[in-house]
Amino acid sequence: MTSRPLLSLAIPVYNEEEVLPLLLAQLRELLDRPSFPSTEIVLVNDGSRDATPRLLDEAAARDPRLTVVHLSRNFGHQAALTAALDHVHADVAVVMDADLQDSPSIIPRFLEKHAEGYDVVYAIRASRQEGPLLRFCYRAYYRLLNMVSESRAPLDAGDFALLSRPVLDQLRGMREHNRYLRGLRHWAGFRQIGIEVDRDARAGGRSNYSALRLFKLAIDGIFSFSVVPLRAMAAFGAATVSAAVAYAGYTIYSKLVWGDPPQGFAALISAIVFLAGVQMLFLGVIGEYVGRIYEEVKGRPIYIADRVVRGDRWTESTFRSTASYTTVTGGGEPVRSGSST
C-alpha cells in the first residue's frame, strides 16, 4: 500500500453519464504508464440526476485510486471544485473538468513545468470549439475583468491547472461563498506560468453551463475582485451633479440676461426618468455587494458532502483535507461521519 499519492486529480462531475466512461478510460491510460507518478483521482458528484452517481460508485469499487465525493445536492461548479480540492491527498493537484474539453494529455506538460519550480501551471486557451459569438464573449469578458480588477489575471485561462501544496493550502483557507477559483488562484501569487493548449469540444452530452450560469460566474469574477463598479457609480454621480449645477447656472444666466428661462417640459421629464433608472441600476450594483456580505455573514458551508466512496490504496493517516465527511469504502460500509465545510 502506497503511503500517499504524488499527484491528485480534482474533477467535478455533473450529469456526465455519456462522457464519464471515456474520461475514466483516458485517465487510466495515462496513469497506467510506467513513468507516470502514483496518482489518485478525486471525483465530486455535484448532485447529478442521471446515472452518474452509480457509474462513479462502480468505478471506485473497481479502481482503488478513485475517491468519489457525493454532495447532498447541486451546489454549483465552483463549490464542487472546492470539495475536490478539500479531499485531495497529494502535494500536487491538477484541476480539470469532466467533459474532456480539458484533455488529460496536457497533464504531463503541467508536470514538466512544475519540475522547473512553478507552483501554478495553468492552461491558456489558444483555440476553442464553441461558436463565434460565445468565443467573442469569452475574450471580451477576460479583458474586461482585467480592466476593472486590481489583480490582473492571465487572459483566456480557465480552471484547468496544476496547483502545488502552498497554493492548495491557501485556496483551502479561502472559504468565501461566491467563488471564482481561477481568480483566487491568481490572487494567491507564488510562481505561476501558463501554457497554450487547444480546447477540445465536449466528448459527449451537452454543457451544463447555461447562459445564465455563465453570466453569474462572470459577475462573481467582477464583484469578487473589483470595486470599480462602486467607483464608477461615484464618478457618474459626480458628473451628473456637475451637469445639473452647470444647467442651473445656465438657467439663471438666461433669466437675468435674456429675460426668458429655457423651456422644455419633455426634456425635464426625460431627465427625471433617466436619473431614476440610473438610481435603480446603482441600487442593484450596491445590492450585489450587500448580498455577498449577507451570504458570508450567515456562515453556511460552501457544500455538504453526503458520503465519500474511497478505494483502499491511500491510507487514512495521509488524509489532509480541511473537511470532515462521511467516508465509505468501495464496498459501501461507512467508517467515519461528519459534515463538510
Q: Is 292:219 a contact under the CB 8 Å cutoff?
A: no
Mapping DSSP to helix (H, G, I), strand (E, B) and coil, where does residue 198 land?
Answer: strand
What is the rounded CA–CA span in Å between residue 112 and residue 106?
A: 10
List for the chain the helix, strand, coil content (%; round to 5).
Answer: 50, 15, 35
* Pairwise CA distance, residues 234 & 287, whole Å: 15
Burial class (CB in 10 A: 0-12, 13-18, 19+), 103: middle
Per-residue confidence (pLDDT) for residue 130, from 0 to 100: 59
Cα gap 38→166, rounded to integer Å: 20
Non-local (6+) Cβ contacts of 268 within 8 A are: none
Distance, CA of 309 to CA of 56 (rounded, Å): 9
Predicted confidence at residue 206, as pLDDT, reads 58
User: Which stretch of DSSP H or E encloses residue 26?
Assistant: helix 20-31
Which H or E run includes 234?
helix 228-253
228, 155 contact by CB (below 8 A)? no
User: Helix or strand or coil: residue 226?
Assistant: coil
Q: Which residue has the cell 470595486?
A: 227
pLDDT in tens, the chain (341 residues): 455 678 899 999 988 888 899 899 999 888 888 888 888 899 999 888 888 889 998 888 888 889 899 998 888 888 899 999 988 888 899 999 888 888 888 889 899 898 898 999 988 877 655 566 666 666 666 666 666 666 666 666 778 899 999 999 888 888 888 777 877 888 888 888 888 887 765 545 555 555 566 666 666 666 666 666 777 777 777 777 777 777 777 777 776 777 666 666 556 666 776 777 677 777 777 777 777 777 777 778 888 888 888 766 654 433 333 333 333 333 333 333 333 33
Confidence (pLDDT) at 312: 63
Upper half-sphere CA count for residue 331 (Cβ side, 13 Å)? 3
Cell of 170: 491557501
Residues 6+ apart with CB under 8 A from 53: 45, 70
Backbone angles phi, psi at 179, to 5 degrees: -90, 140
What is the strand order of the sheet 92-95 is part of? Answer: 192-198, 120-127, 157-164, 92-95, 7-13, 39-45, 66-71, 305-310, 327-329, 334-336
What's the CA gap between 292 and 223, in Å, rounded?
9
Q: How far apart are CA 254 and CA 261, in angstroms?
A: 5
Give me the pLDDT at residue 341, please: 38
Give the per-residue pLDDT at 327: 35
